[in-house]
Structure 1
Amino acid sequence: MTRRRYPIGIQTFSKIRENDMLYIDKTEYIYNMAHAAGTYYFLSRPRRFGKSLLVSTMQSYFEGRRDLFRGLAIEKLEKEWTEYPVILLSMAGAKHMDVEGLQEYLLYILKVNEERFGVEFHSAAPNLRLTNLIMAVYEKTGRQVVVLIDEYDAPLLDVAHEESQLVAMRDIMRNFYSPLKDCDPYLRFVFLTGITKFSQLSIFSELNNISNISMKDDYAGICGITETELLDDMQDGIAGLAQANELTPRQVVAKLKENYDGYHFSAHSPGVFNPFSLLSSLANKDFDSYWFASGTSTYLVNMLQRFNVQPASLQRMCAKSSAFDSPTETMKTITPLLYQSGYITIKGYDKISQLYTLDLPNKEVKVGLFESLLPNYLDGSYAEQGDVAIARMSVLIRQNDIDGALRLLQTFLATVPYCNVTNHEGHYQQMLFIIFTLLTHYVVDVEVHTPKGRVDIVMLTADRLYLIELKLNKDADAAMKQIDLKNYAERFALSGKLITKVGINFDSSVGNITDWRIA
């Protein structure tokens, strides 16, 4: 059997089907939506999760291109295959624009659609052009119009937290989308994708009947790839990855889940793989970081600093849905941005309290995020050198040589220029938390509560549990005494692991570890 090519970065449904590339069948979702009572739908998902491919699939379906759907679920479900006129408006090209550029872009994508349907209208007002386009297409074809808007929020994401620019850009987009309400009699189906919800755009403030399916259980798997889909459709890719890395197929699936799985988009969502990373991993036969490396994290890091988010707090948390599924431009915490951008996801739900548990989805995101944060604690190019030191530390800890690992860390930190933010213990705790987290093979947590206090850092390896206490401008004996005085080890006595206590002292005058004790 010849392995189908993986459509990495290909967002056109017809191209995938005509070239016999791998397609994960999402057409039953489309059928259910198209035959439900509503007209207006919105879906939020992180970038590179297949939103554009979903829109392209919808376009082919509503245009009645039945030949493209042979062998897919919708072929058996759909009986009529009515052909509708489809207006496709992709806002992906409207990123990083000013007001004038955005106006020009809107007129351009409208002109493209006007030419497709032979419509002429020369107004310079995008909202009037869209109104005329919908009504003219309805008149020409005698059928209601389907409007598909991909990445509706793209022009606003860059300025979401710059109030002066956001207001002007948002007014343009609000005006542009307003015809969707007035043209309701002429519309068969309207579908919008995006990353976030902008509360003051007309689609949410005026279209009060819009169905937001982003957190609906029935649509949790509409984008991305579930484990069932992986096992059903990609066995040849799993076998190739296993052979290339000298692993068994079962071990490959476990590593794929560890690296790229773990997303949940509703209370009862199945686990969802990041499709871009998963397909890239199978195609390249490795386990590299793909999704995180494909987009800049500068904006995210800046927002984490703006909201004064400590790296150690990017861990398991509980929240109501209103705390993370809320409009980005009005958010009071970083949580909505982290969730909607794909850096944290749903990991559990308590029906009685209606509390969601949120956490980092997988290893790829965790490592990529903390590597991005490391330069805030290690200046300049030293963060890159730190990657090598951290990898070497990981080997030493795997060999149960925590003393050697700390000596290596001390040697490395001695090469790092003096940092201004060295006057409080928390800075070093966060820096060490990032470094230990990037060891990647171990479970690391901070400020772990015990009956008598809190352990600064707890690290779990294959056969050991390390209790690490930090002191600033004191000595390692003081750190060790705190571990013993508060009997932190008792809290973890049932872990079944050999417990190692580590007391570490930092000297702010040199910005480095000066001494440590291990017991």
Structure 2
Amino acid sequence: MKRKKNKKKLPIGLSDFKEIIEYDYYYFDKTKFIENILEERSKVKLFTRPRRFGKTLNLSMLKYFFDVENREENKKLFEGLNISKSEYFEKQGEFPVISISFKNYNKNDWESGFKSIKSTISDIYAKFEYLMEHLNKRDLKKFEDIWLEKDEGDWERSLLNLTKYVFDYYGKKVIILIDEYDQPIINSYIKGYYSETIDFFKSFYGSVLKDNEYLEMSVITGILRVAKENIFSGLNNLEVHTILDSEFTEYFGIMEDEVEEALKDFNLEYELEDVQKWYNGYLFGDTKVYNPWSIINFLKKGRLRPYWVNTSGNGLIQLYLEKLKNEIFDEFSRLLNKENIFETINDSMTFGNLEANFEKNIWNLFFHSGYLTLAKKNDEDEEEVYLKIPNEEILKMFSKMFIEVYFRDSNNFSKFTNALKSGDIEKFKFELNKILLENTGIFDISGSYKEQFYHGLMLGLILKLRNEYEITSNGFAGKGRYDLLLKPKNILNKLTGREGIIFELKILNIKSEFSFEAIHEKLEKECEIALKQIDEKEYSSVLRNAGVKKILKIGISFLGKEFEVKFEREKEIY
């Protein structure tokens, strides 16, 4: 449901609920979330979701709904929205609210990190500066120590103390909203000062959330539950909702019916099938979910391209790919080939057991961060599940990472891609040979060179051309599925008549006792088989139907770092 149809302003980069409503931005109505959290009744609620799935906007919405400050003004923001029709609307403006966010935390060491944390807390105190004239001398000193960012301030209990001051002023219990609670912990883990950070936040969160007589309710968001590490130790009033749960799913992300209506509103409904392929694929609990950041950007720009994966936040993923590149090679390759992997997933992982068993728990990390999703619905009690890459957007990110992790000097592949788009196959072959020779270490990873590896390699290499071509892998066309296809984007096709390109890859499995000549003879025969398959399966039809007049067919066969290439050009159609 939207507030009003046919609004063209889209809130890209905006997460302030008041600004979105007052300036009439396009809004997916998630206000029923308020009713549901009041019905649940748990004192402290933790919602873990991937980044840019609406966590910050939802907490902003809660702040404007519950806050006793500016009650009547804020009430107008919810007129006509779902919550205004609920019996719980009477709770609007009933509580003082303390809201704190660590989403922008990014420091290289604990000294600068603690300074940033103190500044964030001090800014929250500054919003309650009016309380100082009502404090006794002792509490005033504590307040000023935090407000002025003094070293002697009681920083670990600062949020707890603020709830007391606010309660004493209003005579009402306080709602605490904490956005991206785990960002400093994840960041410090990547940068190498994790122990200092976790020690601080154990006390900081524990003091305010456990047995706090001034607390009405707290709603906390984060990316991963792996950061819990006893932060909430002994907190028996905590209710955790992860992406494995069905409850609350519709409030974090965009549902399929919402996407369909939005596409109609922006005259993009003909794009629905492509939008599903690019941005759908997430299964949270038993519900299909779209990535909000990607959908909003697509509605704004009308172009199918990666949006979410080009934002910040891939540091932890990159770190573990580097650490485990040998151990997870087979699984990584299968994922790139759009296959499922069978792994153990749970909600109780910590950084401690992540370190103890990298290979097992990296899939937990990928899953809860939104880079993998359930391949099918599963029982919530089942820990062993099938996982897959959710959509084309994530596939392209993983293909790029594949190149960065397994190959050196990936930025020097421009000669390879330039040769391909110019149709110079001899140059293309020369550059591919150079890439393989300069990265011979990759062939020590696995004794068998599976198609997934070479598929990931070729996809990763040609993704550098994604601004000029629509690149798809393992797609259906004609009577079968092609390996890789490059369709010139419309403007290039019309202006330059650039070739569409189809790749069929073959992997040769023979013993090393064969001579070099015999091996290459067999590789050439596999290339011929590949070209024949392109013709017999009529893969070219997808390009012809798109109006591409010139088509380049390439068959490549591999054996370790040896390969052969053959190509044909279809007769140009006018």
TM bin, normalised by shorter chain, reads: 0.7 to 0.9
Q: For residue 83 of structure 1, what is the amino acid of its counterpart?
A: E
Q: Distance in 2 between matches of 1:349 and 1:392?
A: 45
Helix, strand or coil at the partner of 2:507 = strand
Ranges in structure 1 where 5+ consecutive residues have no aligned partner = 243-248, 394-403, 445-456, 484-491
Q: Distance in 1 between matches of 2:564 and 2:364?
A: 40
Q: Distance in 1 between matches of 2:380 and 2:293?
A: 35
Q: For residue 350 of structure 2, what is the amino acid of its counterpart?
A: P
Q: Which residue of 1 aligns with 2:439?
A: 419
Q: How high is the TM-score relative to the length of structure 1?
A: 0.79
Q: Does 1:433 align with 2:491?
A: no
1:169 Cα offset (Å): 1.2
Q: Does 1:263 align with 2:282?
A: yes
Mean Cα deviation higher: 295-304 or 331-340: 295-304
1:233 Cα offset (Å): 3.8
Q: Which residue of 1 aligns with 2:206?
A: 178
Q: Distance in 2 between matches of 1:28 and 1:352?
A: 24
Q: For residue 172 of structure 2, what is the amino acid of its counterpart?
A: R
Q: 1:32 aligns with which of 7, 32, 36?
A: 36
Q: Does 1:44 align with 2:53?
A: no
Distance 1:29 1:318, change over 3 A: farther
Q: Does 1:187 align with 2:191?
A: no
Q: Distance in 1 between matches of 2:521 and 2:433?
A: 22
Ranges in structure 2 where 5+ consecutive residues have no aligned partner = 133-139, 146-151, 463-470, 476-480, 487-501, 528-532, 540-552, 569-574
1:470 Cα offset (Å): 3.0
Q: Distance in 1 between matches of 2:120 and 2:253?
A: 28
1:181 Cα offset (Å): 3.4
Helix, strand or coil at the partner of 1:301 = helix
List aligned pairs for 1:63-142, cutoff 5 A: 63=67, 64=71, 65-77=74-86, 78-80=88-90, 81-117=92-128, 118-119=131-132, 120=140, 121=143, 122=145, 124-142=153-171
Contact (CA 8 Å) 1:131, 1:183: kept in 2 or not?
Answer: no
Q: Does 1:273 align with 2:273?
A: no
Percent identity, aligned pairs only, is 22
Q: For residue 402 of structure 2, what is the amino acid of its counterpart?
A: L
1:98 Cα offset (Å): 2.4
Q: For residue 68 of structure 1, what is the amino acid of its counterpart?
A: L
Distance 1:220 1:327, change over 3 A: farther
Q: Does 1:379 align with 2:409?
A: yes
1:88 Cα offset (Å): 0.8
Q: Which residue of 2 aligns with 1:4?
A: 8
Q: Which residue of 2 aligns with 1:396?
A: none
Q: 2:398 aligns with which of 352, 365, 369?
A: 369
* Number of residue pairs aligned between Structure 1 and Structure 2: 470
Q: Distance in 2 between matches of 1:386 and 1:517?
A: 16
1:30 Cα offset (Å): 2.2
Distance 1:149 1:352, change over 3 A: closer
Mean Cα deviation higher: 141-150 or 65-74: 65-74
Contact (CA 8 Å) 2:66, 2:93: kept in 1 or not?
Answer: yes
Q: Structure 1, residues 357-390: CA drift from partner, whole Å, max 9, x if none?
A: 2111100110122123214336342345555567
Contact (CA 8 Å) 1:460, 1:466: kept in 2 or not?
Answer: yes
Contact (CA 8 Å) 1:161, 1:329: kept in 2 or not?
Answer: no
RMSD (Å) for aligned C-alpha atoms: 3.8
Q: Structure 1, residues 253-298: CA drift from partner, whole Å, max 9, x if none?
A: 11111111111221x12x2111111111111121121111122645
1:177 Cα offset (Å): 0.9
Q: For residue 139 of structure 1, what is the amino acid of its counterpart?
A: D
Contact (CA 8 Å) 1:345, 1:360: kept in 2 or not?
Answer: yes
Distance 1:390 1:516, change over 3 A: closer
Distance 1:34 1:124, change over 3 A: same
1:235 Cα offset (Å): 1.7
Q: Does 1:295 align with 2:315?
A: no
Q: Does 1:470 align with 2:508?
A: yes
1:507 Cα offset (Å): 7.0
1:229 Cα offset (Å): 0.9
Q: For residue 403 of structure 2, what is the amino acid of its counterpart?
A: L
Q: Structure 1, residues 467-519: CA drift from partner, whole Å, max 9, x if none?
A: 72235865155579999xxxxxxxx9xxx9589997834475xxx5247799x
Q: Structure 1, residues 20-74: CA drift from partner, whole Å, max 9, x if none?
A: 0011111112211123221111111111222111110111111152211111111
Q: Distance in 1 between matches of 2:177 and 2:421?
A: 47
Q: For residue 166 of structure 2, what is the amino acid of its counterpart?
A: V
Q: 2:343 aligns with which of 316, 319, 342?
A: 319
Q: Which residue of 1 aligns with 2:474?
A: 443
Q: Distance in 2 between matches of 1:8 and 1:504?
A: 45
Helix, strand or coil at the partner of 1:334 = helix
Q: How high is the TM-score relative to the length of structure 2?
A: 0.72
Distance 1:61 1:422, change over 3 A: closer
Q: 1:330 aligns with which of 353, 357, 360?
A: 353
Q: For residue 4 of structure 1, what is the amino acid of its counterpart?
A: K
Mean Cα deviation higher: 96-105 or 209-218: 96-105
Helix, strand or coil at the partner of 2:342 = strand
Distance 1:100 1:434, change over 3 A: same
Q: Distance in 2 between matches of 1:341 and 1:135?
A: 35
Distance 1:79 1:294, change over 3 A: closer
Q: Distance in 2 between matches of 1:108 and 1:69?
A: 32
Q: Which residue of 1 aligns with 2:498?
A: none
Contact (CA 8 Å) 1:203, 1:210: kept in 2 or not?
Answer: no
Q: For residue 345 of structure 2, what is the amino acid of its counterpart?
A: S
Q: For residue 442 of structure 1, what is the amino acid of its counterpart?
A: S
Q: Distance in 2 between matches of 1:273 and 1:145?
A: 34
Q: For residue 316 of structure 1, what is the amino acid of its counterpart?
A: N
Q: Distance in 1 between matches of 2:567 and 2:104?
A: 57
Q: For residue 120 of structure 2, what is the amino acid of its counterpart?
A: I
Contact (CA 8 Å) 1:134, 1:183: kept in 2 or not?
Answer: no
Q: For residue 45 of structure 1, what is the amino acid of its counterpart?
A: R
1:3 Cα offset (Å): 2.6
Q: 1:206 aligns with which of 234, 244, 249?
A: 234
Distance 1:382 1:470, change over 3 A: farther
Q: Distance in 1 between matches of 2:505 and 2:440?
A: 28
Distance 1:170 1:420, change over 3 A: same
Contact (CA 8 Å) 1:458, 1:467: kept in 2 or not?
Answer: no
Distance 1:517 1:129, change over 3 A: closer
Contact (CA 8 Å) 1:51, 1:150: kept in 2 or not?
Answer: yes
Q: For residue 513 of structure 1, what is the amino acid of its counterpart?
A: F
Q: For residue 224 of structure 2, what is the amino acid of its counterpart?
A: T
Q: Distance in 1 between matches of 2:372 and 2:26?
A: 28
Q: Which residue of 1 aligns with 2:563?
A: 513
1:321 Cα offset (Å): 3.3
